[in-house]
Amino acid sequence: MVGASVAAHLARRGVSATLVDRRGAGEETSSGNAGLIEASRMLPIGFPRKARYIIRHALGLSPQSNYHWSALPGLLPFLLRYWASSRPDRLDASARALRPLLAAAPDEHAALAAEAGSQRLIRPAGLLQVFRTEEGFAETGADRRFADEFGVPYEILDRDAALALEPHLRPVFRRALSWPRTENCPDPGALTKSYAALFEKSGGVFVRGDARTLHAYAGGWRVETEAGPVDAKQAVIALGPWSMDVAARFGVRVPFAVKRGYHVHLAPEGNATLGRGVLDYDGGFALLPMDRGMRITTGVEFARRDAPPTPVQLQRALPFAHELFPLGRTIDDKPWMGSRPAIADSLPVIGRAPGQSTLWLAFGHAHLGFTLGPPTGRLLAEMMLGEKPFVDPTPFRADRF
């Protein structure tokens, strides 16, 4: 989503550009997510700071997270910085830095989708957060205060009011929060592909190749592709969870790790439907009405990016999901796994690579990369072409650490 959006913005401005991917566009993290365009996301998801939560998470008792203990020594430097950046005042600062980009996301998606002819894939249906405990609801206090300050609408609903919105939910929760500005995409991979197709329609060239071959060449950059070497005056690294494989070679140093996540699709039972995405706060999963079926997505797994999948969070979430909604047979042969590319302060990197004049970075959007692709694409294209950036890019500099 990030690379396709950057490419679409450059091509629409008349830049001659080549998008290099080792697969088709939109076939990795940007296909398997929850498909939520979350202009209503308030505070970033921080590392738990209360001792009893840390213990629950560490013991694998919390559905929201899972840890591979063998990966922890390697992850420790990142986790310590993530923990420090999750202090309430720092999360608040990150949320303020991110707000202009997040607020722009619906309009920026709408503009690309209108040109790409993929408006069907964006539904202004909203998001329903349901709470099984009062404690869970109370934990959203900071989000609600932030929403009040920024004028982002939400509604506190009792169980009956929530069931009036989504009559097929079962009454296993006590109350709910409705976020009407959140948009739902029933096929995130297809929306990403439509932006890549818009790039090609605007004169861009898509070619398969390995970005790890990127090297300085004749005053610019060269990358090897199936169509032979591609040379360019400027290059952008937007490789999601694989970004640091290439960026680190050019001196980029940012506290980076991946937060893995899973999904599986189940068929609804009978005529059961959902109009919008539902987040089960205490159950630690999201339930999304997708073209393929009901998608259940999980929280965060800290593990080595390339370690074999361990979908234990899906196993923990599924009984809660069956309680909440009438679900039937499993559609997928095996769970999907993806890796959210995350930077410790929960802000992406968007801008020039430090010490480089023609190498650019756009990665690290963590839980919000599907939302933030189009505004990131616009911001980076404006910076590359020397236009006035539509939001202040300072918080996203790679040399902020």
Ligand X SMILES: Cc1cc2nc3c(=O)[nH]c(=O)nc-3n(C[C@H](O)[C@H](O)[C@H](O)COP(=O)(O)OP(=O)(O)OC[C@H]3O[C@@H](n4cnc5c(N)ncnc54)[C@H](O)[C@@H]3O)c2cc1C
Question: What residues line the site for ligand X (CB under 6 A)?
Answer: 1-3, 20-23, 27-30, 33-36, 38, 210-212, 238-242, 261, 263, 297, 338, 340-341, 363, 365-371
Nearer Cβ to ligand X (2/147): 2
How many angstroms separate the CA atoms of 15 and 200, rounded?
12
Comparison of 164 and 192: residue with beta carbon closer to ligand X: 192
- Closer residue to ligand X in complex, CB, 136/241: 241
Compare residues 135 and 332 and give the one whose CB is closer to ligand X.
332
CB of 250 to ligand X, least distance (A): 14
275 class by beta-carbon count within 10 Å (0-12 exposed, 13-18 middle, 19+ buried): middle
Q: Which element (helix H / strand E) includes 223?
A: strand 220-225
Closest CA to 1 of 293, 354, 348, 276: 348
CB of 211 to ligand X, least distance (A): 3
Q: Which is nearer to ligand X, 115 or 210 (CB)?
A: 210
- Closer residue to ligand X (CB): 134 or 245: 245
| Least distance in angstroms from the C-beta of 223 to ligand X | 8
Sign of CA dihedral 30, 34, 37, 43: negative
Q: Which residues contact 176 (CB under 8 A, 6 or more apart)?
A: 128, 129, 130, 131, 156, 157, 158, 159, 161, 162
User: CB of residue 29 vs ligand X: minimum separation in angstroms?
Assistant: 3
Between 33 and 85, CB nearer to ligand X: 33
Q: d(Cα 175, Cα 160) in Å, to the nearest integer?
A: 9
> Between 136 and 311, whose beta carbon lies closer to ligand X?
311
* Residue 308 beta carbon to ligand X: minimum distance, rounded to whole angstroms: 16
Q: Are 194 and 304 in contact (CB under 8 A)?
A: no
Q: What CA–CA distance (Å, rounded) separates 69 from 91? A: 26
The answer to whether 162 and 128 are in contact (CB under 8 A) is: yes
Give the torsion sign (CA, 80, 82, 86, 89).
Answer: positive
User: Residue 175 or 263: which CB sits closer to ligand X?
Assistant: 263
Rounded Cα distance between 178 and 155, Å, is 5
Strands 228-232 vs 215-217: parallel, antiparallel or unpaired: unpaired
Give least dist CB 271 to ligand X, A: 26
CB of 373 to ligand X, least distance (A): 6
d(CA 391, CA 348): 14
Local structure of 307: helix, strand or coil: coil
* Shortest reach from residue 398's CB to ligand X, in Å: 15
Shortest distance, CB of residue 114 to ligand X, whole angstroms?
20
How large is the angle between the packed helices 88-116 and 141-150, nearest 10 degrees? 60
